[in-house]
Each structure stands twice: as C-alpha cells, then as structure tokens.
C-alpha cells in the first residue's frame, strides 16, 4: 500500500504536475492524492504534522521541469551579448524585480540610459520614462473611453434625428483662431513688448530646456488668447539651438507662422537700455506697479537645481534695472521657491497689464506656495499673526466658559 502510494505521489509530482498546472486539471487530481496521504497518516501516526503531507520542494521541480524545452533553445543562442542588449536585459530584470522601469524602451532612450553618469542618474531616468509611459497609457485609455461614449451618443442622436437651427455656422475654433491671430498681429504693431531672454541654454540640462519650451508654448498661447496681447520677443535666440529644435517639435509648421518676434539679437540692441527691466526673483528691488512704457524681460530658464543669481548676474552685467514680484508683500508665503514658471509669469503680467490689480494677478501663483493674501505690509504681519493667536486663544477661552456654563448652569 505504502509503496503504491509513494509511486502515485511521484507520478503526480514529477510528470503530471507541470502539465496539470498549466491546463488547470489540478482540481481533479489533487483531492485524490490528498486523501491518499491523509489515510496514510491516519494509519501510521495520529500526531502527524500537517506539513508532512506537503511536499515543500515541489515548486522547485515545477520551475525546473517546465523549462526543459526553453533551456535547449537557449543553448543555441550566442553567449556574448552586445552592451545594448545586455542593458536591455538588465532593464528587463529590473522590471521583473518590481522596480520603476518602462515596459518599452527605444534604442535612443537606451543609449541615454547607458550614458547616465551614475547609478542614481540611471534610476531617475528610468523612473521618468516609467511615469511617462504610465501617463501615456492612462491618456490613451481615457481617449478610448471618450470615443466609445461619443459613438454611443451619436447613435442616440441619429435615432432622434433632429436638426437644430442656429444663425451661426458652427465653425468655432477656426473663427476664434482668426480673431486671436488678428489681435496678435495688432499687438505686433502696437502692443507692449515682452522679452523672453533665450540665453540660458548652457545653464540647463536637456530636460530643463524641454520644460522651458513647454512653458513658453503655454505662455504664448495664453498671450494670444488674451484681450490685449503682448508683443512677444524671443531675444538671443540662436538658430539650430536646442530651444529651436524643441519649439519645432511642439509647433511643427506653425513655428514659422507664429505672430511673435524671434531674433538672435540681444534686447539691449533692440530697445533703449533705460526702458528695460529684468524680472528676476533674486532682485533686491520689488516691483510696485506695472509700467506700460517699460519693457519687461523674463529669463527663459527652468532651474530645477535653483541656481541663485544667474539671471541677476546677467542683468548686472548689462547694467539693467531689475525687479522682483512683490510676493512677500501680498502673500503669506509658506513653501517653495519664489521663482515661478514662465506661463505663471505670463498670466500675472497679462492680468497686471489689464487690471493693475496685484491681488487678481497673484491669484496665478500656485496655491500650495502660500497660505493666503496679506492686506497689510510685511511689517504688520507679526501683528496680524499675534492677532490671530489671540483670537484663537480667545476662542478657546470662550469654549472653556461655555463648558463651565454647561456644567454649572446659572440658577
């Protein structure tokens, strides 16, 4: 009996199992083996541990046996790997190990990955690619869902089949574009200039340049949509620079038709020096009002590693006036650097130009960076805080009094 049982076990383990595991037949087979072993236990010894009937090394056999064919295939492959292939395989292993690694990686990306100077740089780059891939996937999923919904809606619409009457032909986007372009063209003749200083390419990494260009594209679009746009100048713009390549990636053919001035000249060559004001967060001077006769310069730089004083140094070198936004004056700053993104700057400047209302303009500072608006100058800030504290304490006292009153009601 025992030997027969053993034999059966062996058969089950060694040959049938991989097959069954793959084809989902285990349900039929295993109860049998278990009852057999159970009965064995009962016969032999009642204090038998439940673990005994489990073959703990079974998984090893599964892992090894399921692989026989694959192994023979692998032998024929050449042993030496090119460095690219090796890197690709390492990535694959990292992905299996559950690290943040993209599923697909292009040849160029792989090369960038291999050129990363350190382990942490490699890790960061992979994480960036991984997240990018995730976002892309999510976007695609959402698009698909949207399309489905639209198709459904169309189906329903076709069932009801009603034509709406309206005095306008539905050509919203192109009409709007025309209107915007007309305004932008007007601004190119009559508008107040706003200069973006494009001379920071050397100061930035490739990714920072990419981000800069994205922010500039956003700034340009919000300028175009505004009621009274600026006349945008990209100064110190070198042909065939990284900036230009990135811009062309974004705008494609539209790059040459943009209603802005792009020049390799410096702003000091185009405009009188005394009219220029360089906007930089490091400036000791704080901007009080928006001057419609001045020409403001914004440095087209994303500095993730907070390079203090780079743009201030540039203004100093050229002997230009500088100014910083009065962030401290109007906002109770909490966290984050005082440098804002280019599109935020654009929003703020446009609002200032139209309304001269600092509060309205500084709404565009990200909410996470400040706690609230201050009505009084910074000197009074402490007083305000004190007031808040006393108010809080006062409230606490009131509550205590209320409790007291509850516990000891007046007669």
Half-sphere CA count of 286, side-chain side, radius 13 A: 10
3-state secondary structure 163-205: CCCCCCCCCHHHHHHHHHHHHHHHHHHHCCEEEEECCCHHHCC
Between residues 77 and 293, which has the closer beta carbon with respect to another protein? 77
Residue 96 backbone dihedrals phi, psi, to 5 degrees: -65, -35
- Pick between residue 63 and residue 405 the one whose CB is nearest to another protein: 63
What's the Cα-to-Cα distance from 378 to each of 4, 53, 118, rounded to whole Å? Answer: 91, 77, 45
Minimum separation from the CB atom of position 16 to another protein (A): 12
CB of 18 to another protein, least distance (A): 6
CA distances from residue 116 to 48, 109, 126, 270, 303 in whole angstroms, order as listed:
58, 11, 10, 41, 20
Query: Which residues bind to another protein, rule: CB under 8 A?
Result: 17-18, 21-22, 26, 30, 34, 49-51, 54-60, 62-64, 66-67, 71, 74, 81, 86, 89-90, 93-94, 96-99, 284, 308-310, 312-314, 316-317
Shortest distance in whole angstroms from residue 97 CB to another protein: 5
Minimum distance from residue 69 beta carbon to another protein (Å): 12
Nearer to another protein (CB atom), residue 206 or residue 313: 313
The residues near 345 (Cβ < 8 Å, ≥ 6 apart) are: 219, 279, 298
Closest alpha carbon to 281 in 344, 222, 220: 344
Structure tokens given for 274: 């005394």
Q: For another protein, give the closer residue by CB, 96 or 170.
A: 96
Nearer to another protein, 57 or 155 (CB): 57
The least CB distance from residue 46 to another protein, in Å, is 17
Q: How far is the CB of 301 from another protein (least distance, A)?
A: 13
Shortest spacing between CB 120 and another protein, in angstroms? 13
| CB of 26 vs another protein, minimal distance in Å | 6
Cβ neighbours around 357 below 10 Å, total: 12
The least distance separating another protein from the CB of residue 108, rounded to whole angstroms, comes to: 21
CB of 50 to another protein, least distance (A): 7
Query: What is the C-alpha separation between 48 and 57, in angstroms, rounded?
Result: 19
Q: Output the six-digit token pair for 159.
A: 């069932």
The two three-digit tokens of residue 136, written as one number = 């892309």
**Count of helices and strands (H, E) across the chain:** 17, 8
| Distance (Å, whole) CA 226 – CA 353 | 11
DSSP codes, 104-145: ---HHHHHHHHH-SSHHHHHHHHHHHHHHHHHHHHHHHHHHH
Cβ pair 288, 332 in contact under 8 A: no
Is residue 249 within 8 Å of residue 214, measured between CB atoms?
A: no
Nearer residue to another protein within complex by CB, 55 or 133: 55
Q: How many angstroms separate the CA atoms of 197 and 356, rounded?
A: 24
Nearer residue to another protein within complex by CB, 62 or 222: 62
């Amino acid at each position: 009996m025992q030997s027969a049982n053993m034999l059966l076990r062996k058969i089950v383990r060694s040959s049938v199992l991989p097959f069954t595991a793959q084809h989902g037949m285990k349900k039929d087979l295993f109860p049998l083996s278990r009852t057999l072993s159970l009965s064995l236990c009962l016969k032999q010894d009642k204090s038998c541990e439940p673990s005994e009937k489990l073959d703990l090394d079974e998984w090893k056999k599964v892992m090894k046996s399921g692989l026989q064919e694959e192994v023979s295939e692998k032998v024929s492959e050449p042993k030496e790997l090119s460095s690219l292939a090796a890197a690709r395989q390492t990535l694959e292993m990292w992905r299996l190990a559950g690290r943040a690694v993209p599923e697909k990686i292009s040849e160029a990306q792989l090369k960038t990955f291999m050129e990363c100077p350190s382990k942490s740089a490699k890790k960061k780059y992979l994480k960036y690619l991984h997240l990018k891939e995730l976002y892309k996937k999510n976007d695609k999923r959402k698009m698909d869902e949207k399309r489905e919904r639209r198709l459904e809606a169309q189906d329903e619409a076709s069932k009801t089949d009603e034509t709406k009457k309206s005095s306008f032909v539905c050509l919203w986007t192109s009409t709007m574009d025309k209107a915007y372009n007309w305004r932008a063209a007007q601004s190119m003749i009559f508008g107040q200039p706003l200069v973006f200083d494009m001379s920071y390419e050397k100061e930035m990494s490739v990714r920072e340049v990419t981000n800069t260009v994205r922010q500039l594209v956003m700034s340009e679009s919000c300028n175009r949509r505004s009621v009274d746009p600026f006349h945008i100048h990209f100064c110190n713009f070198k042909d065939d620079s990284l900036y230009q390549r990135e811009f062309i990636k974004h705008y494609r053919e539209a790059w040459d038709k943009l209603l802005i001035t792009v020049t390799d000249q410096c702003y000091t060559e185009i405009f009188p020096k005394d009219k220029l004001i360089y906007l930089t967060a490091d400036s000791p001077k704080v901007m009080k009002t928006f001057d419609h006769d001045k020409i403001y310069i914004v440095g087209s730089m994303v500095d993730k590693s907070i390079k203090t004083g780079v743009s201030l140094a540039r203004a100093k070198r050229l002997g230009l006036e500088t100014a910083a936004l009065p962030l401290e004056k109007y906002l109770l700053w909490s966290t984050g650097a005082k440098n804002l993104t280019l599109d935020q700057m654009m929003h703020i400047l446009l609002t200032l130009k139209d309304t001269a209302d600092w509060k309205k303009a500084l709404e565009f500072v990200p909410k996470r960076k400040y706690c609230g608006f201050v009505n009084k100058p910074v000197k009074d800030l402490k007083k305000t805080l004190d007031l808040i504290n006393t108010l809080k304490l006062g409230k606490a006292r009131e509550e205590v009094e209320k409790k007291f009153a509850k516990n000891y009601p007046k007669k």
